[in-house]
Structure 1
Amino acid sequence: MRGLSLIGAAFLCFVAPAAGWAQQIQTVQRVAPSGRPQQVQFIARMEPDCRSLPMDNLAILEGPAHGRISMERGVDFPNFSPNNPRSRCNTRKVPGNKLVYQSAPGFVGEDGFVLEVIGKYGNAMRTRYQIAVR
């Protein structure tokens, strides 16, 4: 029995710290018209002086059950928060990726998907999109 206690204690030493790394998934709510494409996010990477940077790796981890997601290169206005030094870049269009959702024809209700963005240093940010299709 003592051997099992030691194994259990050793297991906790290695597993418990990993649990501290559990990442919260940000949730974003959007509304989309049934059967029609709707841009739900614009993703751009920029320096604080507004120069564009190469795009991070983007992946759909969970696809929508009642529609589809596409990522299209394009230009749009970024939407950095006011406390971000890049917020001054919000006044002009920049290159980036448009995340576009389109429901199945005739579908009305709730749908969603999970997007993961992996930064240049390996940091991963996951976002759950909840789409109210009307």
Structure 2
Amino acid sequence: MSTRFPKQSIRKTIMPAISLVPLLAGLAGCVTSTNTNLAVAPSAGPAAPRVVSRTVVLVRRPPPIFVAASGKRARLASMHSLNPDCSLEGYMTVRVVVSPAHGTATVERGLFYPNYPHTNSRSVCNSQPAEGMAAWYQSAPGYVGPDYVELEVIEPDGRAGNLGFHIDVR
């Protein structure tokens, strides 16, 4: 005697496993998730179950390590949104979404040198300071060890993403 598995129960089995994958990806450099579920094989008739297995491998590279001197203010990044003629396209919105445990992170508007890759038409703007946003980090006085800051960056055209910084305070 065979058992038929309704589609609804299969979906309930798959969804929790899929929703955990991003969480697990944040905890490890490489995550493998295998979901095994029973489904009905159409060619074998409505009562014959078969095993369906799917493996998903997600690779998430850790953010680069940034070195900062203990107690000293250090610029983590400067962010620009410039037109090809080096005029300001608009300011990015930058927020600290994960504050450092052993210091402070701030965001400021100002004049900073852009750092566009040479393959970008805006690389000509790298030779002069331009208006933009900068993120700064300063550890607690005397602290030495690891710290972490995460920023949310929203560009003037609406594209958004997060930047994480692992900081080695020396």
TM-score for both structures, normalised by structure 1: 0.80
- Aligned positions of 1:1-134 closer than 5 A: 5-10=6-11, 27-134=63-170
Partner SS for 1:88: helix
Distance 1:122 1:97 in 2: 16
Q: Which has the larger radius of gyration?
A: 2
Partner SS for 1:125: strand
Cα deviation 1:68-115 (Å, max 9, x = unaligned): 101121111101111222111101110111211000111001111111
2:69·2:169 contact (CA, 8 Å) conserved in 1?
A: yes
Distance change (3 Å), C-alpha of 1:25 and 1:84: farther
Distance 1:56 1:50 in 2: 15
- In the TM superposition, residue 25 of structure 1 has moved relative to its aligned partner by 7.2
1:77·1:90 contact (CA, 8 Å) conserved in 2?
A: yes
Distance change (3 Å), C-alpha of 1:8 and 1:80: farther
1:46·1:86 contact (CA, 8 Å) conserved in 2?
A: yes
2:116·2:123 contact (CA, 8 Å) conserved in 1?
A: yes
Identity over aligned residues, as a percent? 32
- Equivalent residue pairs, number: 129
Q: Which runs of 4+ in 1 moved over 6 A?
A: none
Distance 1:26 1:91 in 2: 30
CA RMSD of aligned residues (A): 2.8
Task: Extract unaligned runs of 5+ from structure 1.
Answer: none
Task: Extract unaligned runs of 5+ from structure 2.
Answer: 23-57
1:25·1:126 contact (CA, 8 Å) conserved in 2?
A: no
